[in-house]
Amino acid sequence: MFSRHNRMIGVLYMLADALLSLASFWVAHAVRARLPGLRPLYPAYDYLWIVPVAVAIWITVGTVTGIYRDIREEDLRRAFTDLLQVAAVSATILFAITFAFQFAYISRLLLGLYVVTDLLAMILLRLIARRLGGPLRRSLGGFRHFLLVGNTPEAIEIARTIESNETRGMAFQGFIVVNARRDDPPAQLQSQVDQRSLRRAYPVYPLSELAGLLRRHVIDEVIFAVTRGEMDQLRDPFLVCEEEGVRTRVLVSFFPHLISKVTLERLRDMPLLTFSAAPENEALLLAKRLLDFLMAVVLLLVLSPLFLILALLIKLTSKGPVFYRQTRCGLGGRRFTVYKFRSMQPDADLRREELEALNEMDGPVFKIGNDPRCTTVGRFMRKFSLDELPQLFNILRGDMSFVGPRPPLPEEVEKYERWQRRRLRMPPGLTCLWALEGRSRLNFRRWMELDLQYIDNWSLALDWKIMLKTIPVVLLGRGAS
């Protein structure tokens, strides 16, 4: 299914889940009020404030966990496991709020019934959609008929995908071969397209037949999946489709890209194909920045006593400043000053060259497991990553994020291979996937690969998973040494 259609269906599911969440609360209240042997329940209007909060929690958790992306009603496993995960997280947040704010009048049984009712309602919705979604869509909009220009392997894959979405109202009508002639016999045309992997054989036409096909048949969309050399022959076919008002799509796999996401944007009235090998969803990136800012403010307030204690210990046990400042490379190679609690002797940078032989990391990174330059307090701070706490100020300023590739030194970046520089296309962070494997135990190449894996698969849900998994790593002292 096309991504735009998938997003629309995701929005419809979100709205349906919001309505189900509202209805489930009233059902749960009615059931709890009628259970015998329990203390009387407050009237429903006393809970009006919690209903939108509960709905917002359900929808937010569902969005973060991705249940409204890539909708597949045929996947029964997702109808249960994904929703069970959403219910567990939402219930935890709901109960935490009631305990934190000491809302003693809210029945815990009522909340439990609400969670179970909403979970069952959402599962039932997806089972019904699996059964009736396809026929309903077809009855409302009928089939959308597709014609495919090209006989490349990608064209066959597109045809197979359209076939698999027949229950969603997509119908495949046939192939057009660019280099075929009008007088080629049907058997010769058929032989030019390998249809063995398709469910059935489809007609094959020469490119010169396109205008006639659009007149004689119902064709809603024409998809061009051709080679680079065939593009020059498509000017007139494009104009024919435009004059007919037929939606046209072009597969751009012949461009030299492997991991970039391709979008079409406009600079005023000029259409531009955009290739991006890093996250580009501005709304989600803004949400990431807002969450970083709010969490940094809260943590700075909560941890201010610890800041004072560590600053005092550093000052009393060694000469030199409390904070260590160093120039690092951030987003796109932008340079900024990173802040840490000083964990080494004041002349540590001057002694690096004499300790170069002890470096335990390959590549351009310098790391010693039991660094002789560390102070006693510094060694303790590094074990539990406490020296990194002042980087909360970097997060406030927007230089860094909580999750992202670690900010490298400029001299390290100068030694990067070209493929490694892509890690600079995401804001640097305090932790990332490498923290879960133990950064000090990784070779440099694996470290870079994990950073790129994070960039390629980034989502807000992934950020939360990494942060939650980093907490025990830090508390048990298994972070970077």
Ordered by start, the domain boundaries in the chain are 3-140, 143-254, 282-475
From the number of C-beta atoms within 10 Å of its C-beta (0-12, 13-18, 19+), residue 294 rates as exposed
Pair type for strands 144-149 and 270-276: unpaired
pLDDT, greater one: 283 or 205: 205
Q: Lowest-confidence range among 30-44, 119-133, 154-168, 181-195?
A: 30-44
Beta bridge mates, 337: 327
Q: Is the dihedral of CA 188, 190, 192, 196 positive or negative?
A: negative
140 band by pLDDT with thresholds 50, 70 and 90: very low
Residue 438 has a pLDDT of: 63
Per the model's pLDDT, the better-predicted residue between 209 and 434 turns out to be: 209
Structure tokens at 439: 């950064």
Of 428, 426, 415, 430, the C-alpha closest to 456 is 426
> Does 451 score more than 50 pLDDT?
yes
Nearest to 478 by CA among 394, 383, 392: 383
What's the pLDDT tens digit per position in 312-335?
999 998 888 999 999 999 988 889
Distance CA 80, CA 76 (A): 7
Strand partners, 261: 276
Please state, in angstroms and rounded to a whole number, the distance separating the CA atoms of residues 173 and 182: 19
Q: What is the DSSP string of 230-242?
A: GGGGGHHHHHHHH
Q: Are 392 and 296 in contact (CB under 8 A)?
A: yes
The matching CATH number, chosen from 3.40.50.720, 3.20.20.140, 1.10.10.10, 1.10.630.10, for 143-254 is: 3.40.50.720
Residue 183's φ and ψ, nearest 5 degrees, are -90, 5
Chain mean position to CA 322: 38
Can you give the length of the chain in residues?
Answer: 481
Distance (Å, whole) CA 143 – CA 168: 8
* The pLDDT value given to residue 282: 80
From the list 185, 172, 178, the residue with the least C-alpha distance to 143 is 172
> Which of 262 and 85 is assigned the larger pLDDT?
85
Give the rounded percent of residues in the chain with a pLDDT score beyond 70.
82
CA neighbor of 82 nearest in space, from 98, 71, 93:
71
Whether 141 shows a pLDDT value over 60: the answer reads no
What per-residue confidence (pLDDT) applies to 133? 62
